Amino acid sequence: MIVFKKILFPTDFSANADKALAHALRLADLDNGEVIVQHVVADYFDRHPHWATLFDLHELQKHMDGYVKTHMMTLLKKDSDNPRVRTVLSKGKPAEEIARLAERELVDVVVMGSAKGVVTNKVIRMTNRPVLAISANQPNPEEAGLNKVTKILVATDFSAHSKRVVEYAFDLKRIFNATIFMLYVIETTHAIEWAIRQGHLMNAMDKMREWAGNQLLNLTPDEFTGSPGDTIADVAFEVCADLTILGTHEYGTVHKHLIGTTTDKLLTKTSTPILTVKL
């Protein structure tokens, strides 16, 4: 059973990062968890040490403390317990430092605002922790996203380890009392399309029925064609998904698509959060 006792929230103090903050607080509120607020200072000073005297890192820490007080506490629900908040100031490359802190703290999830997706995709590759990416296109986070999760879309390739993603999704279903939609996308050429339909697709449908049956659910299968990123985004829109979950691993075409192109497209085409789970 998943818990959200420790949430890492990296911020660059941008408006897009602020959108992700509400989601971090929402998750912390579920299990009376802790939110770790991290800001990464670029390693420019290592290459140009003479500039360091012009900057006071203590002032930056004070700015972070002010950020927590000004932004975080204003989003807390009046009827909820105040989450524990801890600030961490790191120095180095953003993605590397975020992933390093996530692993060191063994956080339950990393919650990130994602404008172009560059840093987010790097963090997804570097860490074994789940990453919740918040699109810059999302509406007011207090009116959407994790505050009102009723439909969860799970994109899976039914590889040997992908059942973990489905199990993770069903844990979230129980937490939010949501409906699960399972999607299997195959990117093919016309030359092998028929073989895929007769083989892998039929096998995937059987696995969908098996996994859904184990959860005492009914399953209505649908078939979609197209690139994974576009198709997942289109289906998420069609079913009005509040959260889309992807599995990622370090090998094969799934790694290429789901960590790179697919995530980029989803962040630009959808307005709801995307959760990646490492297989």
Give me the domain span that covers residue 16.
1-140
Do 133 and 153 belong together in one domain?
no
Do 156 and 258 belong together in one domain?
yes
Do 37 and 74 belong together in one domain?
yes
Do 82 and 203 belong together in one domain?
no
Q: Tell me which of 93, 114, 140 is where a domain ends.
A: 140
Q: What are 172-189's pLDDT values in tens digits? A: 988 888 888 888 766 555
DSSP string, 154-203: EE----TTTHHHHHHHHHHHHHHT-EEEEE------HHHHHHHIIIIIHH
Query: Exposed, middle or buried by CB within 10 Å (0-12, 13-18, 19+), for 189?
Result: exposed
Confirm whether pTM is higher than 0.75: yes
Q: Tell me which of 140, 171, 195 is where a domain ends.
A: 140
Q: Tell me which of 87, 111, 140 is where a domain ends.
A: 140
In sign, the C-alpha dihedral spanning 50, 52, 53, 54 is positive
Do 127 and 158 belong together in one domain?
no
Do 49 and 113 belong together in one domain?
yes
Token pair recorded at residue 50: 């003479």
Domain count of the chain?
2
Range in 12-21, 100-109, 116-125, 243-252 the model is least confident about: 243-252
Average pLDDT across the chain, whole number: 75
Share of the chain above pLDDT 70, in %: 60
**Residue 41: its pLDDT value, please?**
78
Q: What are 258-269's pLDDT values in tens digits? A: 455 666 677 777
Do 118 and 157 belong together in one domain?
no
CATH of the domain at 251: 3.40.50.620
Do 167 and 45 belong together in one domain?
no
Q: How far apart are CA 177 and CA 243, in angstroms?
A: 13
Within 10 A of 236 (CB to CB), how many other CB atoms are there? 24
Per-residue confidence band for 78, with pLDDT thresholds at 50, 70 and 90 = very low
Average pLDDT in the 124-145 region? Answer: 76
Do 184 and 130 belong together in one domain?
no
Do 82 and 4 belong together in one domain?
yes
